[in-house]
Amino acid sequence: MSPSGSQRSKRTVKVAPSELVVDLNGEFVPKSEAKVSIFDHGLLYGDGVFEGIRAYNCLVFKLKEHLIRLEESAHTILLSLPLTQDEMMEHVTETLRRNRLRDAYIRVVVTRGVGDLGLDPAKCKQPTWFIITDKIVLYPESFYRNGMQLMTVPTVRNLPEAINPAIKSLNYLNNIMAKIEAKNSNYQEALMLNHQGYVAECTGDNIFVLKNGILQTPAAHIGVLRGITRQAIMELALRNDIPCQERILTRHDLFNADEAFLTGTAAEVIPVVNIDGRRVGSGKPGKMTRKLMSAFRDLTKKDGVRYTL
């Protein structure tokens, strides 16, 4: 392993007491001084992969699962990760310790690295990687109590045959365009369809509906991210004797659902009470949604990698 790995990770830097540090290529640097080259292909072309991860009370939730997905995304785009899974775990927890964060949002990023102005990834000799730990709040607390509203936007989800949404790449322009359309209409989140008109996902979250006691979510093969929180909810449903299916869903299915909610690492589990002006169920967060929200909160207390400050 090169010096950019674990050996350099112990380097001490002087930072202001209130300033966060970033693990950049194995060196801890102040947030204000963390920089990458303008010739990095992650910046020039979105050529790279990332994971968003959460820590709850000194437990990194589903860390192994996130790092496995990072490896799979990197493997698909032929990007060699500079650290092993165990080494990456050590760097994640060390970054949290240095920032003295018990609860945090963690961003692990690996880019193709510095190259020339051409597209050829072979010109990038060494990947760039960094770990950011900070706080994140996507939605106001009132959305979790009262539910949120969605609108379907014209921008369709990337075709799996073009850029597979299962790859968590640095190119999020597809999602950003959909987010812009929603915000322009005063909605906080957008529902995206695939190229065939079937329900895919939102800009950063997976979607679930409950109908006649059966929990349903769009099938992964139609072009959705296999979310870590999505998988956790499916497993929790089965443990609680709630039938759960991956299937093809239309907007008609969503409009006539008994309950609906979104899942994501940053959003966690958030109720949906209105889609395209149609009330979902009673128009309030449903009983099953609230049950799964509670079960998910309990899961975040025990399923992951612990660290100490």
- Residues pairing with 134 in the sheet: 105
Q: Which of 35, 168, 183, 287 is flagged as catalytic?
A: 168
pLDDT given at position 18: 73
pLDDT band, very low/low/confident/very high, at 115 (cuts 50, 70, 90): very high
Looking at residue 38, its amino acid is I
Instruction: Give yes or no for residue 26 having a pLDDT over 50.
Output: yes
pLDDT in the model for residue 300: 97
183 given a catalytic annotation: no
Q: How would residue 15 be classed by pLDDT, with cut points 50, 70 and 90?
A: low
Mean pLDDT of 181-208: 97
pLDDT class for 109, splitting at 50, 70, 90? very high
Cα distance between residue 261 and residue 255, in whole Å = 13
Superfamily of domain covering 141-299: D-amino Acid Aminotransferase, subunit A, domain 2 (3.20.10.10)
Residue 27, CA distances (Å) to 4, 35, 38, 129, 291 in order: 7, 12, 19, 10, 43
For residue range 31-47, what is the model confidence (pLDDT) as tens digits?
999 999 999 999 999 99
User: Do residues 227 and 263 touch, judged by C-beta distance below 8 A?
Assistant: yes
Q: What is the mean pLDDT of residues 131-141?
A: 94
Architecture of the domain whose range is 8-136: 2-Layer Sandwich (3.30)
6 falls in which pLDDT band (50, 70, 90)?
very low
How open is the CA angle 203-140-223, to the nearest 5 degrees? 15
In the prediction, which pLDDT does 16 show?
Answer: 54
Which pair of structure tokens corresponds to residue 40? 């990095």
Q: Residue 2 pLDDT more than 60?
A: no
CA–CA dist 223, 270 (Å, integer): 22
Q: How confident is the model at residue 7 (pLDDT cuts 50, 70, 90)?
A: very low
Q: Are 58 and 102 in contact (CB under 8 A)?
A: yes
Digit-coded pLDDT (tens) for 221-250: 999 999 999 999 999 999 999 999 999 999
Q: Do domains 8-136 and 141-299 have the same CATH topology?
A: no
Per DSSP, 82 falls in state S
DSSP tag of 4: T
pLDDT for 167: 96
The percent of residues above 70 in pLDDT, for the chain, comes to: 94
Q: If you average pLDDT over residues 60-78, what whole number do you get?
A: 98
Alpha helices in the chain (DSSP H): 41-45, 63-76, 85-98, 141-146, 173-184, 228-239, 251-255, 287-299
| Whole-Å CA distances, 152 to 148, 158, 172, 200 | 14, 15, 18, 11
Mean pLDDT across the chain, nearest whole number? 94
pLDDT surpassing 80 at residue 170: yes
Q: What is the mean pLDDT of residues 148-159?
A: 97
| Residue 12 confidence (pLDDT) above 90 | no
Question: In degrees rounded to 5, what are phi and psi of residue 133?
Answer: -125, 130
Domain ranges of the chain: 8-136, 141-299
Residue 104 has pLDDT above 90, yes or no: yes
pLDDT tier at 5, thresholds 50, 70, 90: very low
Amino acid sitting at position 201: E
3-state secondary structure (DSSP) of residue 125: coil
pLDDT over 50 (residue 89): yes
In DSSP terms, which residues pair with 110 in a beta bridge?
Answer: 49, 129
